[in-house]
Amino acid sequence: MTHPTPLVLPTARVEDTELVFSSPAGEDHALALGAFALKIPDDIDPRPGLHLCRNFYRPAADVTNRYRGHREATHPRSSLGYEDRPDQVEQLQIESHLWKEYFPDEVAEQLRRMRLLTLYTLEGLLRLAGVPDRDHETVTGGARAETNLCYSTINHYRSELDRSIGIVEHTDSGFITTIYADQPGFEAFDGDTWRPVREQPGHFIVNTGDAFDVLTRHLRRPVRGVLHRVAATHPDRSSDDRSSYTVYMGPRFNMPLYQYGHDGVRHEYQGFRAYSVEKAARMGYEFHSRV
C-alpha cells in the first residue's frame, strides 16, 4: 500500500496588519487549495490554549479553576457550548464575547490576539480575491466592528474510543479558521487525493470555508473552501491525546451570504443560517440546536 506524499502548505505572515505570502506561487496555491500555514507572531503564546484543551473535559477541581469542568457545565449564555461528537473528538465552542466569562484570563487574552490575527488574515484574503475594501464590513457581517460570528473550538481527541476517524471530512461553513494542534493528523483533499498536512513548527494552519467559496466563486481569483478531516488517534503511553483549538470567523447566522457575479456586482445568495442547516443535513450531522 502506497502512502500519499505529505502536503507542504504555502506560508504567510502578518506584517503591520497586512497579509504577506512567502512567494507569488504560494499565494496562488493557498487560494486554490483553501489552506496555508501562518507564522505565529511573537506576542502569541499557544500554551494556555493547549492547557485548556488537555483539561476542559476533566471534572471541576474547584470553582476558581476555569480550565476544568466544561463537559458538565451548561454555558447558558453561549449558543454553542459542549458537544460530544460521533467521531473521536469532543468539543467546546464558545463565542468571542464570552471568552473572558468562561475561560481563564490567560486563555481569553491569547484568543483575543488570535482573533486580531485572524481578522487581518481575513481582510488580506478578501483583497487578494478582489473584494473592494468598502464591502468588507457588509460581506463579513461586521468583522472590524466585532459584530460578526467569531468563536473558539477547543478539541480533545479521545484515543480510547475505537473509531475510524478523528473528525469526519467537511468544509468549514464560515470564512476562515485559524488552527493550532499539538500532534499530526490534519489531512486535506488536494486534487483527488487525501494528503496528510506536514507540520510546520511555529505556524498556525489557516482554512478558508464555504462563505469565501460562495462570495468569490465568479471573481478572477476565487478562494476555495478546503475539504479536510483529522485522522484517528490511538492509545500511546508516550504521548497525550491529540489536542487542537481554533478561532473561527463567519457571517452572522441572521444575515445573508453574498456573492459577486461575473460582472463584479454583489448580490445576496442565501441566508447563512438556512445554508448551514441544509449543509448539516447533507453531511449527516445536527445543526446547533441553540442557534
Q: What is the pLDDT of residues 42-97, one digit of tens each?
A: 999 999 999 999 999 999 988 788 999 999 999 999 999 999 988 899 999 999 99
- Report percent pLDDT > 90 for the chain: 81
More confident residue, 85 or 271: 271
Question: What is the mean predicted confidence (pLDDT) over 96-100?
Answer: 97
Q: How much is the mean pLDDT over the chain?
A: 93
In a domain, 290, yes or no: no
Residue 238, pLDDT score: 53
- Domain annotation covers residue 69: yes
Structure-model confidence comparison of residues 210 and 283, the more confident one: 210
- For residues 221-227, average pLDDT: 96
Question: Does some domain include residue 152?
Answer: yes
Query: Does the pLDDT value for residue 158 go beyond 70?
Result: yes
pLDDT higher than threshold 60 for residue 35: yes
Decide: 68 and 55 in contact? Cβ < 8 Å.
yes
On whether residue 170 sits in a domain, the answer given is yes
The domain total for the chain is 1
CATH number at residue 20: 2.60.120.330
- Mean pLDDT over residues 132-150, rounded? 94
pLDDT of residue 2: 64
For residue 65, being part of any structural domain is answered with: yes
So what's the pLDDT on residue 1?
54
> For 1-17, what is each residue's pLDDT tens digit?
567 899 999 999 999 99
pLDDT confidence band for 208 (50 / 70 / 90): very high
Give Cα separations from 123 to 26, 128, 170 (angstroms): 18, 9, 24
**Pairing mode, strands 176-181 and 165-170:** unpaired
How much is the pLDDT for 104?
Answer: 97
Q: How confident is the model at residue 287, as a pLDDT?
A: 77
Is 47 part of a structural domain of the chain? yes
Using the predicted structure, report yes or no on whether residue 237 has a pLDDT greater than 60.
no
In which domain, by residue range, is 191 found?
A: 11-283
Judged against a pLDDT cut of 90, whether residue 233 lies above it is answered with no
pLDDT reading at 122 higher than 60: yes
For the whole model, what pTM was predicted? 0.95
